[in-house]
């Protein structure tokens, strides 16, 4: 049995473009909030410049986790491929 003929998949471009567009929009908000939030919290806590960068890096890493979860959930709702 030929594997390519039985499992041929086509990319559903409207779904891919929708998810990428939403990821760009949400990513800009998430990473902007991580940067600004890290800066503001560091000032409130009296952290120095190095503390500010560390806090921003931690919040940026949390943003990466949020974006990863978003993309995974979006792929379940808007499948990137279909058979046929």
What is the 8-class DSSP label of residue 78? S
- Which domain range does residue 70 map to? 13-83
Domain count along the chain: 1
| 6 inside domain | no
| 50 inside domain | yes
| 36 inside domain | yes
Please, which residues have CB within 8 angstroms of residue 57's CB and are 6 or more apart in sequence? 38
CA–CA–CA angle 8, 11, 13 (5° rounding): 165
| 52 inside domain | yes
Please, which residues have CB within 8 angstroms of residue 74's CB and are 6 or more apart in sequence? 19, 22, 23
| 66 inside domain | yes
Given a contact cutoff of 8 angstroms between Cβ atoms, the answer to whether 63 and 32 are in contact is no
Q: How many beta carbons lie within 10 A of that of residue 6, not counting itself?
A: 8
| 58 inside domain | yes
Tell me the pLDDT of the chain (84 aa) as tens digits.
455 555 688 988 998 999 999 999 999 999 999 999 999 999 999 999 999 999 999 999 999 999 999 999 998 888 888 886
Q: Is the pTM of this model over 0.85?
A: no
């Amino acid at each position: 049995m030929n594997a390519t003929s039985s499992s041929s998949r086509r990319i559903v471009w409207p779904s891919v473009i929708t998810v990428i567009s939403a990821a760009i929009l949400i990513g800009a908000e998430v990473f902007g909030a991580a940067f600004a939030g890290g800066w503001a919290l560091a000032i409130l806590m009296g952290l120095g410049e190095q503390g500010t960068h560390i806090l921003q890096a931690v919040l940026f890493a949390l943003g990466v986790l949020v974006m990863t979860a978003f993309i995974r959930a979006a792929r379940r709702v808007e499948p990137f491929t279909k058979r046929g």
